[in-house]
């Protein structure tokens, strides 16, 4: 694969720029905050790799959620490069012989950042999963329309169910959550990624798990299930605004693209002052996921989102750039 190093820009400057943008990449959401990514800087290019040691074997045996997480990091990279005035080219799964090489990013040319691009870049550090109750206020149509457009820009679609369909989707989330909670392997895995140790650089700490979810209203994943199962519940909104993200296919490249679409939707929501939470439990259980199939293309469900207004929450920790950077 020929590497595209910019004429007039020294390779060392390109590497420095890519390294800088890694700080944005690693702020992406990831399943259970596993941060299942590794990066390798080459001359003028960046390889993005899956770290299979961080794959959730019980929840994610096929590595779908792992790829969605990496896709979100890829979108952050692109957005960060764009905001610094650079267009990039992304090759997904460039080498069939190396299945863990998810993408290669090269910088192609300088380009003035758009106002939207700047706004999305500014949202990267402000986007956090918010598991608190949301205000009982509907999300304006203009915002929902912008989120739908964000998904479309990445060749995905976002469906905002009407109130009657919403109850059906929430019932699927609830059923999936119940099934996972009663699964010993799921609980053991969750316990490992929610270990309440201060200073841990990955996993979901108690400070980010929110109050005990109100399963009847908003069936959020309970990150305190194993270590903090008896913490207080709170009054959650009665009619949450939710949306379902769909992709065209269900192969690793589709999962990466779905992650990019998901992150564009989440950043757009953050830029518009919305809080977001993911509720992906039904997508993780094939028999329940089958009920989420959309009637039109794209039709494969990849995530359920909750949107609304809430007090800000603290950031979940991240590993350092140095600890996710491989030697070339």
Ligand X SMILES: Cc1cc2nc3c(=O)[nH]c(=O)nc-3n(C[C@H](O)[C@H](O)[C@H](O)COP(=O)(O)O)c2cc1C
Binds ligand X by CB under 6 A, chosen from 54, 82, 131, 289: 131
295 burial (CB, 10 Å; 0-12 / 13-18 / 19+) is exposed
CB of 211 to ligand X, least distance (A): 12
Contacts of 64 (CB under 8 A, 6+ apart): 250, 255
If one asks whether residue 129 binds ligand X (CB under 6 A), the answer comes out as: yes
Distances from the Cα of 265 to the Cα of 83, 185, 240, 307, angstroms: 17, 31, 17, 11
Q: By CB under 6 A, which span of 12-20, 99-107, 125-133, 233-241 interacts with ligand X?
A: 125-133
65 is a site residue for ligand X (CB under 6 A): yes
**44 or 259, CB closer to ligand X?**
259
Q: Nearest approach, Cβ of 29 to ligand X (angstroms)?
A: 3
Candidate list 45, 218, 278, 288; residue touching ligand X; CB under 6 A: 278
Is residue 175 a contact partner of residue 181, using CB atoms and an 8 Å limit?
Answer: no
User: Taking contact as CB under 6 A, which single stretch among the options 25-33, 110-118, 180-188, 239-247 is the one that binds ligand X?
Assistant: 25-33
Under DSSP, is residue 328 helix (H, G, I), strand (E, B) or coil? coil
Taking CB under 6 A as the rule, does residue 128 contact ligand X?
Answer: yes
In the chain, the DSSP E strands lie at 37-42, 45-50, 86-92, 101-110, 157-159, 241-247, 275-278, 300-308, 325-326
Find the shortest distance in angstroms from Cβ 313 to ligand X. 7
Select the residue interacting with ligand X from 55, 88, 104, 277 (CB under 6 A): 277
Gap between the terminal Cα atoms of the chain: 16
Q: Which is nearer to ligand X, 41 or 50 (CB)?
A: 50
Sign of CA dihedral 21, 26, 30, 35: positive
Is 67 near ligand X (CB under 6 A)? no
**Residue 255 to residue 280: CA distance in whole angstroms:** 14
Question: Which C-beta is closer to ligand X: that of 29 or that of 308?
Answer: 29
Establish if 289 lies at the interface with ligand X (CB under 6 A).
no
Give me the sheet containing 37-42, strands edge to edge: 86-92, 101-110, 45-50, 37-42, 325-326
Name which of residues 159 to 218 contact ligand X (CB under 6 A).
204
Assess 55 for contact with ligand X (CB under 6 A).
no
DSSP string computed for 282-323? GGGSHHHHGGG--SSSS-EEEEEEEEE-----PPPP---TGG
Of all residues in this chain, which one has the CB nearest to ligand X in the complex? Answer: 29
Per CB under 6 A, the list member of 88, 194, 247, 281 interacting with ligand X is 281
Residue from the set 17, 22, 24, 30 that interacts with ligand X by CB under 6 A = 30
| Residues at the interface with ligand X (CB under 6 A) | 29-33, 65, 68-69, 72, 128-129, 131, 204, 220-221, 277-281, 316
């Amino acid at each position: 694969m020929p590497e595209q190093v910019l004429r007039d820009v020294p390779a060392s400057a390109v590497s420095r720029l890519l390294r800088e943008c890694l700080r944005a990449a690693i702020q992406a959401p990831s399943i259970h905050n596993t941060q299942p990514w590794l990066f390798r800087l080459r001359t003028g290019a960046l390889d993005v790799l899956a770290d299979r040691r961080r794959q959730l074997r019980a929840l994610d045996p096929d590595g779908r959620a792992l790829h969605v997480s990496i896709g979100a990091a890829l979108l952050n990279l692109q957005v960060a490069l764009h905001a610094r005035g650079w267009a990039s080219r992304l090759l997904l799964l460039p080498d069939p012989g190396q299945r863990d090489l998810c993408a290669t990013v090269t910088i192609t040319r300088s380009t003035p950042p758009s106002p939207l691009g700047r706004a999305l870049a500014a949202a990267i550090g402000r986007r956090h999963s918010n598991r608190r109750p949301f205000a009982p206020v509907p999300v304006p149509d203009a915002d929902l329309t912008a989120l739908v457009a964000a998904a479309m820009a990445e060749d995905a679609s976002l469906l905002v169910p009407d109130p009657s369909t919403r109850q059906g989707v929430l019932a699927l989330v609830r059923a999936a959550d119940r099934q996972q909670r009663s699964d010993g392997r799921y609980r053991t895995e969750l316990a490992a990624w929610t270990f309440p140790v201060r200073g841990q650089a990955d996993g979901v700490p108690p400070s980010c798990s929110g109050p005990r979810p109100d399963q009847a209203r908003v069936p959020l994943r309970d990150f305190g299930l194993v270590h903090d199962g008896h913490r207080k519940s709170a009054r959650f909104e009665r009619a949450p605004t939710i949306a379902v993200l769909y992709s065209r296919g269900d192969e690793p490249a589709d999962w990466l693209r779905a992650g990019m679409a998901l992150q564009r939707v989440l950043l757009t929501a953050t830029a518009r002052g919305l809080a977001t939470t993911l509720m992906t439990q039904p997508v993780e259980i094939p028999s329940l996921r089958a009920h989420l199939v959309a009637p039109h293309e794209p039709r494969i469900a990849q995530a359920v989102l909750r949107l609304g207004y809430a007090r800000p929450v603290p950031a979940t920790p991240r590993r350092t750039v140095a600890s996710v950077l491989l030697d070339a």
